[in-house]
DNA sequence: GTCTGGCCTATATCGCGCAA
DNA sequence: TTGCGCGATATAGGCCAGAC
């Protein structure tokens, strides 16, 4: 699961390419995005919270924790010697991967963008502010869900539009991320996620460098629309019947005709291989 | 950073057949 | 794995405050 706090969202969403995102977003979208980011900034009160927290934390600190704290200060790292570049400052990006993916430390700014807020979530955030401190989380959630149900479609529209804008911006950011991120970073992230038993991150299918369609697949795409689905059958049965029918047509296709599809496949396969070796 | 409760939404996956 | 369709189902992730 991705972290939720915006302190994590901001660098991931805007970090790598702020100007690019500005271009991508219309002024309104940007406003929406900013509202999303700043309102969700739990860290705004966090400074405040941090101070009160540290106060209470201080008084509640157990001896064990105190000892640990002491230890942590005792083992505080000495400042790096002047003139010696830090590991991350290395000009050689390959150095990061020399000890294997497991050893790669992925920076926050390198993590993939988080999914955009949904319409309901936008409403939820707005309502939580309105409700304020009264009631438990559960009570608030129930209340807000009831309010959401009472909204007319027209009233909901505003939230859906906002969510749509965020979704579009996210799609662009995500595409940029996959384009600009070293594939080894993604693998390193997944190595960590696998170890934590978390689901892996996959490049969305529409962004993948897909293998070209096989000769048969290409043929099927061409003729599919000309083979009608049997309306007397269920969707599944009709689709299966059509697939079987197209398979039969392929077998009956003259060799010369088949060759046309095969040639196209081999041509695209070469291009695919070339692109893949370029990526590697 | 994670967890808490309750809810909604978006997305992914599955099954089916076919050939390479 | 690639494409298609599409309903059913599963899952992730979003919001909120604050303790740990």
Q: What is the mean pLDDT of residues A40-66?
A: 31
Question: Between the CA of A137 and the C1' of B4, what is the distance in angstroms?
Answer: 9
Residue nearest to nucleotide B5 (CA to C1'): A138
Q: What pLDDT sits at residue A39?
A: 30
Residues contacting residue A265 through CB under 8 Å, at least 6 positions apart: A212, A213, A214, A215, A218
Cβ of A167 near strand B (under 7 Å)? The reply is yes
Q: In Å, how far are A42, A61, A62, A75 from A58, measured between CA atoms?
A: 22, 5, 9, 20
Q: What pLDDT sits at residue A18?
A: 33
Q: What pLDDT sits at residue A154?
A: 76
**Which is nearest to A269 in space by CA: A200, A211, A228, A207?**
A211
Question: Between the CA of A219 and the C1' of C2, what is the distance in angstroms?
Answer: 13
Angle ∠(A85,A89,A91) on CA atoms, nearest 5: 100
Give residue limits of the domains in chain A. 6-46+100-207, 215-279
Q: For chain A, how many residues are written?
A: 280
Write down which residues 205-264 in A have CB closer than 7 A to strand B.
214-217, 220, 236, 239-240, 242-244, 246-247, 250-251, 258
Return d(Cα A63, Cα A55) in angstroms, integer: 16
Predicted confidence (pLDDT) at residue A59 exceeds the cutoff of 50 = no
By C1' distance from the Cα of A198, the closest nucleotide is C12
Q: Around A24, how many Cα atoms within 13 Å sit in the side-chain half-sphere?
A: 20
Residue A88 has which token pair? 């991350």
Model confidence over A174-197: pLDDT tens digits? 777 777 777 777 777 777 766 665
Model confidence over A225-252: pLDDT tens digits? 677 777 666 666 677 777 777 777 787 7
Residues contacting residue A91 through CB under 8 Å, at least 6 positions apart: none
Question: Between the CA of A148 and the C1' of B7, what is the distance in angstroms?
Answer: 10
Give the position of tokens 């438990």. A136
């Amino acid at each position: 699961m991705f972290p939720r706090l915006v302190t994590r969202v901001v660098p991931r969403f805007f970090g790598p390419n702020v100007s690019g995102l500005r271009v991508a977003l219309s002024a309104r979208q940007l406003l929406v995005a900013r509202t999303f980011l700043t309102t969700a900034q739990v860290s705004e009160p966090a400074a405040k919270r941090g101070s009160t927290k540290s106060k209470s934390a201080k008084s509640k600190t157990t001896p064990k924790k105190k000892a640990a704290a002491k230890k942590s200060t005792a083992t505080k790292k000495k400042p790096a010697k002047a003139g010696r570049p830090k590991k991350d400052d290395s000009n050689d990006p390959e150095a990061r991967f020399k000890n294997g993916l497991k050893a790669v430390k992925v920076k926050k700014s390198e993590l993939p963008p988080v999914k955009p807020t949904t319409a309901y979530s936008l409403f939820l955030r707005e309502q939580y502010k309105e409700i304020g401190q009264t009631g438990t989380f559960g009570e608030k959630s129930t209340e807000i869900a009831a309010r959401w149900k009472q909204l007319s479609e027209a009233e909901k529209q505003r939230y859906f539009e906002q969510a749509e804008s965020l979704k579009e911006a996210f799609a662009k950011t995500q595409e940029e991320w996959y384009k600009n991120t070293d594939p080894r970073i993604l693998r390193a992230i997944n190595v960590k996620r696998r170890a934590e038993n978390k689901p892996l991150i996959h490049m969305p299918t529409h962004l993948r460098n897909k293998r070209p369609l096989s000769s048969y697949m290409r043929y099927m795409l061409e003729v599919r629309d000309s083979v009608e689905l049997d309306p007397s059958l269920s969707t599944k049965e009709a689709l299966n019947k059509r697939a079987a029918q197209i398979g039969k047509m392929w077998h009956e296709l003259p060799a010369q005709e088949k060759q046309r599809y095969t040639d196209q496949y081999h041509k695209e396969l070469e291009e695919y291989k070339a692109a893949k070796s370029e990526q590697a």
